[in-house]
Amino acid sequence: MFLNHFKMKAQPFAERVAPEAFWRDPRIDEGLARLRYLAHDATVGLLTGPSGVGKSALVQAFLNELSGPRWEVIYVHLTHLPSAGLLKLLVSRLDEPPRRGKDRLFRQILDRADRAEGTMVIVIDEAHLLDHDALTDLRLLVSSAVEAPPLKLLLVGQDPLRQTLRQSQHGALLSRMRVRYLLRPLEVSETASYIDFQLKYAGASHRLFDEEAKRMIHEYSGGMPRMINNLATASLIQAMAKDTDRVSEGVVSETVREFQCV
């Protein structure tokens, strides 16, 4: 909509971005380092953070590195399921018909991990939605492979997942998590750098957004990349509607007021 107005060659602040448009900030670099350690040297990992902080982007960057025959990745996003349903879903992602009974489902997953050419990596996103039985089953699945771990498990979820795992009934699973990473929001300088990167990728000048406009975006978004994207995009639309070629603090202020009305 506003690409022609601002003479951009690509959409900035998109929800889904190409690998070359992925911004690698220090948080992401540290997170990738820890997830690489999980893939090569650990068994169970935990990635948490508030909604919109960039967990999915970090996981996607990690999974992009797990290509080729060395890895077999199972990614599950919809996890609001009873424990047996989760195990069946994992088996289905292996392109195998689920058997009846938890013991047989466990065996299917472990047998497939043993037969795999490479290491099996199970990633469960939105894991804060898992019930207690499902978490227990995942602990049993990992425990069954403890002699020679043929699989890795990464749980990804919002902050309540950490609170759930601290409960005594999940102590055994938590103790196996050698990799734990809390993805924090962006600092104000990182928000400005993120906006500049997105504008550069789109073929626009970083001066398109005034410095005070960037600061206001950070203050309202709390440094959450998803909200930064939403607010920056809405501000571009607002500036275009005003037929101006700059996004000023005033433009962002008007946009924020509109957001607050919803």
- The last residue of one of the domains, among 148, 182, 216, is 182
Residues 235-245: tens digit of each pLDDT = 999 999 999 99
One domain, residues 130 and 195:
no
In this predicted model, which residue has the larger pLDDT, 186 or 10?
186
196 domain residue, yes or no: yes
20 domain residue, yes or no: no
232 domain residue, yes or no: yes
One domain, residues 113 and 137:
yes
- Residue 184's pLDDT is 98
Using left for φ > 0, alpha for ψ between -120 and 50, and beta otherwise, residue 187 falls in beta
One domain, residues 125 and 242:
no
Domain that holds residue 238: 186-260
pLDDT for 147 beyond 80: no
Mean per-residue pLDDT, 202-215: 93
One domain, residues 148 and 223:
no
One domain, residues 106 and 59:
yes
- Residue 103's pLDDT is 86
- The last residue of one of the domains, among 182, 201, 221, is 182
Q: Residues 6 or more apart from 96 whose CB is under 8 A from it?
A: 108, 112
pLDDT for 79 beyond 70: no
Both tokens assigned to 66: 């797990």
Mean per-residue pLDDT, 20-49: 94
Domain tally, the chain:
2
pLDDT for 149 beyond 80: no
One domain, residues 136 and 223:
no
